Structure 1
Amino acid sequence: DALPITVNSLAIDAHGNLYAGGDFISAGGIEVNRVAKWNGHTWQPLLTGVDSIVHSLILDGQGNLYVGGNFRTADGVDAKSIAKWDGVRWSSLGDGMNSAVFALAIGQDGSLYAGGLFNTAGGISANHIARWRGSVWSSLGLGTNDTVNSLAVDRAGQVYAGGSFENAGGGTAKGIARWDGNHWNSVGNGVSSIDGAQVRAIAVDDANTLYIGGLFEIAGVTQANNIAKWQGNGWQALGSGVDSVVDALQIGPDGHLYAGGSFSTAGNRPSVGIALWGSVDRQCGLTTSSYSFLASGRPVVVNIRVPGTIDCIGVEAFNRVHTWATPEQATDHYWEITATSSTGHPATGYTVDLTLPTTFTPDAEDTLCRYADATWNCAASSFSASNKTITRNGVNHLSSWTIGNSGQSWYLPYVP
């Protein structure tokens, strides 16, 4: 059964068990109180859970689960905004915090970092960020002047904090700051927005590239819609970004960046709530693909027929203006067609058929065009009004039909 209400954080242990935390009372019909474990078959409670919202979960190298949120007790144990589950029982981390914990991270030495709305940790002054070394809380300098929403630690042990603050350690740091173990440092000029910027998610890859997501329009001096990356000397946009807030970032095992949030497009492509950034390898498969650009869901089918052999082919559709399109084609739909790994008898003289939905009837004005030598070539196209098809014969190089950006792009992840 699905979890009702809201799930704010997930964590997976070394045995493949999934932990979920958020604002829910039951899971799978079992009372769990805001934190639960999925063992692959059933949901299980962690004793009686916690008494209010969970915002963040993280596991350490020993399999201990740390839970941050806005609660006061865990299974009846006094645990102000943060608690530890060792697989058997709950325990507090000192005197906890005086307000909500929104983010958790584990350092290279096993230290636990917590960020949030609080300004004391374990009874000492700790402005929105603190460190737990197993027995005592400590501050990170002067901390930040406002809420910390996200944390990450790079391979060098440096801590990145993101939030709605404008200074860290007494110096300017707009939305994002780096703790080097002794001092706070700004990361470029940070982020900005007309409506007030905030960083809500951080990820660092194996090359120590820093990715941030949230609600902002500018990173440093670069237009970067709600997501950006830092590679040590400047902020860079990730294409055209996404059209609304990014709440989560994760580096996958393949090195691709996954983004989650309340957006509906990524890189100007439809992508509701989740997208990945990277160079995606096409998989061999059928030579027919369909794409729906109608609210009714009726598909447009692209079919490639070849008189030779071909191992791998891909068709991708997107609705946007091609950079070099002629004025007459500026509002059309474009298909990126690529083929790789031909073996045996080489495939030549491809025939490309475009089958339209029943709501469209092609005529002599409709063509399949190839962009080459800085011009559009629309010759050798024909149409069939009765079959709803547009056909282009004699296509010898599918790669020459590629329309789109090379390199890294936004994609909608494939979910089997």
Structure 2
Amino acid sequence: VPGSDPALFIGGSFTIANGAEMYRISRITNGSMLETDKGVSNTVYSVQAHETSGIVYYGGAFLDATGVPVGSVTSWDGKNWDQMGGGVSFPSTCDASGTQPEIAIVYSILLLGGGGCIAFSCSPEQRPKVFVGGRFELAGEGKNMVKARNIAMWDPAAANGEGRWSSLCDSNPPNRCDIDGVSYRGTSAQAASPVYVFSLAYHAASNMLYVGGLFQSAGQRYANINSLAAFSLTSKSWSIVGGGIAGPSPVVHALYISPGSQDLYVAGSFSAVGKQNSDVLSAGLNAGNIAVFSLTSGSWNTLNGGIPD
């Protein structure tokens, strides 16, 4: 937090830390573990601190932040929890069995922009845009709800500072997006296929958002893009990254681009890069679960074979 001692923010499924009640989030400052208000109601999977303002964002599977209703994502500015327009969710069910809707999960948070303020003094225009990835189908609430399959963006300055969620989708030509994010590929009969977004990374020079997880298509239902995709924030279009990745149920768990770098680090469970499982005529490159993609040359580096299973 600007103007204060450095802190390490942590989240998980704990309720006791250092002998004191701390509900799933905490911070460590000067060797002391401190609570953040009264925490959140369920597991935290992602924590991101906005370095210039000190606002901390949390994602997970929780619906309450110290008594404030939220939807699996929230932020703490030192005084208040932000409901962020209702967060993300799944459609409610109304059948006679009383089945509850699946709880949305946010696994990854990426912050873009914002600054020029400190914590609770920040106006909506000074807060960052927030990209979230996980497992959900909707973002927002009421008349402002939008379809957003497993990835969405929160703009706190939209609607004169009220904030709005949007999907990463452009239905207009030439993009013709029809699935509002990433999903299974093909017909509705495959809807039970597990789909997740686990990691996000941003490349400033190209204004490109990279998305990793477990999915079969991006932007269009029949687009063959497996578990690693790129979304242009300029053209609002989805694309495959370097020919893709392959292997038995390929999945990407982590993405990283260091500041100023032109390299995308990709880690997960895959055995080849430069191809997908459907590319029977492409040999690709053998890779052991980790590889680096050059954002300038478009080539892969398999890091001497990577990490074997």
Alpha-carbon distance change, 204 to 191 in structure 1, aligned in 2, over 3 angstroms: farther
Equivalent position amino acid for 1:136 in 2: E
Which position in structure 1 is the counterpart of 2:204? 206
Alpha-carbon distance change, 250 to 40 in structure 1, aligned in 2, over 3 angstroms: farther
- Per-residue deviation at 1:249? 1.8
Alpha-carbon distance change, 35 to 137 in structure 1, aligned in 2, over 3 angstroms: same
Which position in structure 1 is the counterpart of 2:303? 411
Alpha-carbon distance change, 239 to 74 in structure 1, aligned in 2, over 3 angstroms: closer
1:237 is matched with which residue: 239, 242, 255?
A: 242
Q: 2:72, 2:224 → 1: CA distance?
A: 36
Matches within 5 A, 1:213-362: 213-216=212-215, 226-229=227-230, 235-237=240-242, 240-241=245-246, 243=248, 244-253=250-259, 254-261=261-268, 263=269, 265=271, 267=273, 268-271=286-289, 275-278=290-293
What TM-score do you get using the length of structure 1 for normalisation?
0.43
Higher helix share: 2
Equivalent position amino acid for 1:270 in 2: G
The superposition leaves residues 106-157 of structure 1 with CA deviations (integer Å, 9 ceiling, x where unpaired) of 44463544656364636433124563526523353xx5xxxxxxxxxxxxxx
- Per-residue deviation at 1:27? 4.5
1:137 is matched with which residue: 138, 147, 163?
A: 163
Alpha-carbon distance change, 136 to 105 in structure 1, aligned in 2, over 3 angstroms: farther
Provide the secondary structure at the position in 2 that maps to 1:270: coil
Q: 1:408, 1:51 → 2: CA distance?
A: 42
Alpha-carbon distance change, 98 to 212 in structure 1, aligned in 2, over 3 angstroms: closer
Gaps of 5+ in 1: 1-12, 144-159, 162-166, 178-189, 280-405
Higher relative CO (Cα under 8 Å, sequence separation at least 6) belongs to 2
Matches within 5 A, 1:37-56: 37-39=27-29, 41-56=31-46
Q: 2:49, 2:80 → 1: CA distance?
A: 14
Provide the secondary structure at the position in 1 that maps to 2:205: coil
The superposition leaves residues 333-391 of structure 1 with CA deviations (integer Å, 9 ceiling, x where unpaired) of xxxxxxxxxxxxxxxxxxxxxxxxxxxxxxxxxxxxxxxxxxxxxxxxxxxxxxxxxxx
Which position in structure 2 is the counterpart of 1:74? 65
Contact 2:211–2:229 under 8 Å retained in 1: yes
- Per-residue deviation at 1:64? 0.6
- Per-residue deviation at 1:245? 1.6
Number of residue-to-residue matches in the alignment? 236
Gaps of 5+ in 2: 90-103, 114-124, 274-285
The percent identity for this pair of structures is 22
Which position in structure 2 is the counterpart of 1:126? 145
Q: 1:229, 1:114 → 2: CA distance?
A: 14
Which position in structure 2 is the counterpart of 1:93? 83
Alpha-carbon distance change, 139 to 69 in structure 1, aligned in 2, over 3 angstroms: same
Higher strand share: 1
Alpha-carbon distance change, 241 to 202 in structure 1, aligned in 2, over 3 angstroms: farther
Structure number with larger C-alpha Rg: 1
Alpha-carbon distance change, 63 to 174 in structure 1, aligned in 2, over 3 angstroms: same
RMSD over aligned Cα atoms: 4.6
Alpha-carbon distance change, 27 to 197 in structure 1, aligned in 2, over 3 angstroms: same
Alpha-carbon distance change, 34 to 52 in structure 1, aligned in 2, over 3 angstroms: same
Which position in structure 2 is the counterpart of 1:57? 47
Contact 2:85–2:164 under 8 Å retained in 1: no
Which position in structure 2 is the counterpart of 1:311? none
The superposition leaves residues 236-294 of structure 1 with CA deviations (integer Å, 9 ceiling, x where unpaired) of 43575565321332212343323344x164653434xxx34147xxxxxxxxxxxxxxx
The superposition leaves residues 285-344 of structure 1 with CA deviations (integer Å, 9 ceiling, x where unpaired) of xxxxxxxxxxxxxxxxxxxxxxxxxxxxxxxxxxxxxxxxxxxxxxxxxxxxxxxxxxxx
Contact 1:112–1:131 under 8 Å retained in 2: yes
- Per-residue deviation at 1:65? 0.9
Matches within 5 A, 1:169-180: 172-174=177-179, 176=181
Provide the secondary structure at the position in 2 that maps to 1:48: coil
- Per-residue deviation at 1:15? 6.7
Contact 1:69–1:81 under 8 Å retained in 2: yes
Q: 1:114, 1:228 → 2: CA distance?
A: 15
